[in-house]
Amino acid sequence: MADSQPDLSSSSFGDDPTVDDARTRILAAAGPVFARHGFDRATVREICRQANVNVAAVGYYFGDKMGLYRQVIRQIHDSKERRFPSPAARQSEPTETLRLLVYTLLSRMLAGDASGWESQLMMREMQQPTAIFGDLVQESFRPLFEQLVETFRLIIGSDVPRDELEKFAFSTIGQCLYFRIGRGVIQILVPETTRKRAYDLEQLSQHVTSVMLAAAQTRRNSHHPLA
C-alpha cells in the first residue's frame, strides 16, 4: 500500500538546509504551493515541476500527497519555533507582555510572501480542516492562546471567570487575523495612500494592543469599583 518509503522518513533529516536532494527540494517547493492553492487545488505536478523532480518522486519519498502535506506541516511548526521563539513570559509588566504577544502574532501573519505562506496555510486549515487540523491547533495554537489568557488574567484580575479571559484572547487573535485575512477587503476599502501611511506592522500592533488594553482595564475597574 505504498508504505515502502525509504528509511530516511525519520524526522530532523529533511530540515538540514545544506543538503539539496530531491526530497528536500520537494519539501521546500510544496509549502508555498499548498499555501497558494490549498490542499485540493494544489497539484503534485506543479510541486514537482518547481522542485525539478519527476512526479513519481513524491510517491517514492512521502507515500502520497497527504503524506507530503503532513511533512510540510511539521516543517512549519519546527521553523516557526526556531524563528519566532515564544516571547519570554512575565518579563516585566503584563501590559508589555500583551504588547509583545500581539506584535509576535502580527509578525507571523504579515510576514512577506517569501515566508508568509505558513500562516496562510494555517488559515486554510481553519476554513477547510484536513486530518491534521487537531494536531496543528494543539501544537501551534494552544501555547499562544494560554499565554494570552494568563496575561489577561494578570491585567484584569484573578477573580473573573475563565471564559471571559478566553474571549479576550480570541478578540485579540481575531483582530490580528483580520488584518491578514481581510487584506483584500482593506485594499479595496482604504485608499493606497492611507494604507502605506497607517497600516504597517508597528501601527497595527499598537492599535490592537491599545484596544485590548482599554477593554481589559475597563473590565477591571467595573469589577473593582472601590479602587
Partner DNA sequence: CTCGCAGTTAAACGCTTGTTTCAAACAGTT
Partner DNA sequence: AACTGTTTGAAACAAGCGTTTAACTGCGAG
By CB under 7 A, name the binding residues for DNA. Answer: 1-2, 6, 8, 21-23, 42-46, 53-60, 64-66
Residue 139 near a second copy by CB under 8 A: no
Distances (CA, A) of 114 to 77, 117, 219: 16, 7, 40
Residue 184 near a second copy by CB under 8 A: yes
Query: Which member of 22, 115, 167, 201 binds a second copy (CB under 8 A)?
Result: 167
Footprint on residues 51-90 left by a second copy (CB under 8 A): none
Q: Among residues 36 and 195, whose Cβ is nearest to DNA?
A: 36
Residue 163 near a second copy by CB under 8 A: yes
Residue 201 near a second copy by CB under 8 A: no
Which spans in the chain are helix H? Answer: 22-41, 44-51, 56-62, 65-83, 94-110, 117-127, 133-136, 142-156, 162-181, 183-189, 192-198, 201-223
Exposed / middle / buried, residue 114 (Cβ in 10 Å: 0-12, 13-18, 19+): exposed
Contact 26, 60 (CB under 8 A): no
HSE-up of residue 142 (Cα within 13 Å, Cβ side): 7
CA 58, 61, 67, 69 dihedral sign is negative
**Coil vs helix vs strand at 41:** helix
* Residue 30 interacting partner from a second copy, DNA, none (CB closer than 5 to 8 Å by kind): none
CB of 138: closest distance to a second copy in angstroms?
7
Q: Among residues 44 and 208, whose Cβ is nearest to a second copy?
A: 208
State the residues that interact with a second copy by CB under 8 A.
38, 40-41, 123-124, 126-129, 133-134, 137-138, 141-142, 145, 162-164, 166-168, 170-171, 173-179, 181-182, 184-186, 188-190, 194, 197-199, 204, 207-208, 210-212, 214-215, 217-219
